[in-house]
Amino acid sequence: MAFKEDCLKFTYNESTLDTLALDYVQQEQLVQGNDGCKSTKTVRDECCKVKNLVLKGQIQHAMEASNSVNSAILEDPRLYFRLQRQRFIELLRAAGDDDDALMRAVECARKDLAPCALDAYPEAYSEFQRSMLLLLYSKDKTDSPVSGEWSEGARYELGAMFALTLRQAMGAYDPQLSLLLRYLITTHKIFCTTLGADSPATELAEHLLPVGRDPPPLPRENVLGSFQEAKIQALVQAVGLPRQDAIESLKHTEGNIETAFMNELSRMRLNHALLDELESRLNHALLDELVQEYACYRGLLDPDSGEASSASDAEVAEGDEGSGKRCMLKWVGRRAEDLALQGCGTSQSSELPVGRNARPACEQYGRVMAMRAAVLAGQTDEVLRKLEVEEPGLLEASPQLLFDLKREQFMGMVAAGEAPRALQLAREELGPLSLKHPDLVPALKSTLVSIAQPALAPQAAEGKHAHELATTLQQALSKRLGLAEPRLIVLLRSLLHAHTEWFKLQRCEDPFRHMCSLHLLKAPSAAAALPTHSLRGDPLSGALVFTTESISPIATAHPGRSVVDEGRAPGSHHIVDDSDEEDEEEEMRTSMDGVLNEFTFSEDTILTLMEFMALSRADAIQLLQQHDGSVDTVIANLLT
């Protein structure tokens, strides 16, 4: 119960989440005006098309489609043999009793399959011989020695492996938010399973990331498997792989752990659809819904989204200070062909509808965010005036909120050197309010101290206090308007809290925290950390200007080492020279080296126990504590 309550209180950096959400909608082309955004979506769609062709048994068309993306893929004799073998099976499946069709299958075996079976891989010729038995046994004969060869499940395994190999070769990864959620949900599941914790995000997390992974790509040949144990264990612990599978993943990337990490996240099957039990229909992609709901809540989405407009409607204008661009994000959603590629069928309306029906909800969210932005901008007088006119009774029902807003006024007057006005406000407003609510008296006393120490007033009026006040006002207004907190926020709070608690148990830092931007997502939100449509103009007048310069770059993986480069846009890549490999390995070792570990066990001791007994880091440390740090004693006791 304590964990569940702590999840609800966990804070995250709103500016970073805004960045991730904007990056997602732009990378997935869910909004208009993506011309300047470098996206891998076209390549990812082509890879998805290749997979779907294999699933339909159209192997030749799949091979032709892959050539248009990367012709070098089919130069791998192992992959080429498997595709030709499946093509032979599909020709036989379609032939039935047609002799001409049967001879086409035989011709495929003679000209395409047999030649590549000799040198594809050691077992290829045996598989070829087994495939030829299919000429004798029909697919309807369930007791034949090759009945398993007719299984259509082989299509999925081959198609998924083919598409994943193609995507990895092209560096076509999903948006960072999608990959981050896969990682955090995996960690959340391990944490809750290990400790039996009850999390408010469990149900949604299970819908979003069900059990199962796509098969790995074919391993690279002639690559030595000698890697630092710190790298192997980091991958094992992060994505829940067996040790040997982690080694194979590192072989595939020639030891680049960041790329291996991204590849393993890409194998996880993110659920693209949620069944609505009330209406028994298929909704929009679930993650799309969560991001749309969040973007609307944060005021990042145009209320007119979905209405007929052209791409030019993505309005671009100079900001008040002449630098950033103003972007009116108009939600267009996924195209019908995109949904068909993902196997989602025809799109139905989501819980947060787009178009005209979405306007009232977005406008209400916009009102709330405008009030919040005004508090952060120091416009407390205007906020109070607006609340009295638009939401009468809200402040009377929330004396603490009213006191905090009046105190913000008071602090602003003191900071401006207007002590007489501040005292008048205290006598007329703060004093009577604290008399009606005695629990406010201590806060009143600490507030009045600033009259004698005016240097403290700016610190009180800005920074953390203003941010907390803005958040409190936002929550109160949302509750009054019946606006539920977005599911993405509820989900992330729980996931981030579970991640934090899990690495406390591991007594080390997450080696992938910078790569995933977790250090930014968990960083405290400063008073200036406004929604990424930064405060230019008057927040309460609706003249908010979204400035692209306020978006922080997000680290992305790519063959080679990827880092956050302050001058690049989200989704861009930067390759670090190979001479930095030693620094990367040292950073990985330092991250795993128990910076939070107050015990005297060496990192090699912990890694040795993790390796030989397949233990988590937390279990290894606990056992070492119980056996005076002796690996031999721990192993002996576990094996007896």
Least reliable range by pLDDT among 357-366, 491-500, 548-557, 596-605: 548-557
State yes or no: pLDDT of 291 exceeds 70: yes
- 233 falls in which pLDDT band (50, 70, 90)? very high
- Angstrom distance (rounded) from CA 129 to CA 118: 11
Return the DSSP state at 532. Answer: S
Token pair, residue 323, equals: 């630098």
pLDDT at res. 238: 92
Q: Are 192 and 202 in contact (CB under 8 A)?
A: yes
Give bridge partners of residue 325 from the DSSP assignment. 318
Nearest by Cα to 76 from 61, 90, 63, 88: 63
Tell me the C-alpha distance between 583 and 291, whole Å. 36
| Helix (H/G/I), strand (E/B), else coil: 278 | coil
What's residue 551's pLDDT? Answer: 34
Other CB atoms within 10 Å distance of the CB of residue 220: 12
pLDDT of residue 16: 93
Q: How far apart are CA 177 and CA 312, in angstroms?
A: 27
Rounded Cα gap, residues 410 and 424, in angstroms: 9
pLDDT score recorded for residue 231: 92
Q: Each residue of 193-213: pLDDT tens digit?
A: 988 888 888 888 888 888 788
Residue burial 125-147, b: 16+ Cβ < 10 Å; e: rest: eebbeebeebeebebeeeebebe
pTM of the model: 0.76
Q: Please, which residues bridge with residue 61 across strands?
A: none
CA dist 540 and 559 (Å) reads 46
Q: Which residues does residue 282 pair with via DSSP β-bridges, in sequence order?
A: 275
> Three-class SS of residue 213?
strand
Output the pLDDT for position 342. 58
The helix (run of H) or strand (run of E) holding residue 99 is helix 99-108
The pLDDT score that the predictor gives to residue 338 is 63
Contacting residues for 143 by C-beta, under 8 A, at least 6 apart: none
pLDDT, tens only, 513-570: 999 999 999 987 653 343 433 333 444 444 333 333 333 333 444 333 333 333 333 3
Tokens of 612: 């030989």
Q: Where are the domains of the chain?
A: 41-170, 370-486, 597-640
- Percent of the chain topping pLDDT 90: 31
What sign does the CA torsion over 426, 427, 429, 435 have? positive
Question: What integer pLDDT is reported at residue 90 of this predicted model?
Answer: 94
Average pLDDT in the 587-603 region? 57
Residue at 547: amino acid letter = T
Where are the alpha helices (H) located in 196-253, listed in sequence order? Answer: 202-208, 229-239, 243-252
* Residue 140 CA, distance from chain mean position: 45
Using 50, 70 and 90 to split pLDDT, how confident is the model at 625?
confident
User: Is residue 37 very low, low, confident or very high in pLDDT (cuts 50, 70, 90)?
Assistant: low
Predicted confidence (pLDDT) at residue 287 exceeds the cutoff of 70: yes
What pLDDT was estimated at residue 309?
A: 35
Between 368 and 597, residue with greater pLDDT? 368
Which amino acid, 344?
C
pLDDT tens digit string along 355-376? 434 455 677 887 888 888 888 8
Q: Could you read off the pLDDT of 435-464 as tens digits, one per residue?
A: 999 999 998 888 888 777 666 544 444 555
pLDDT average, residue stretch 151-165: 90
Amino acid at residue number 418:
E
Using the structure block, give the residue that is written with the tokens 């391993």.
Answer: 219
Q: 493 pLDDT band (50/70/90 cuts)?
A: very high
- Average pLDDT in the 397-417 region? 88
Per-residue pLDDT, 576: 33
pLDDT value at 35 more than 80: no
User: Is 70 exceeded by the pLDDT of residue 317?
Assistant: no
Closest CA to 293 of 333, 328, 325: 333
Statement: residue 185 has pLDDT above 90 = yes
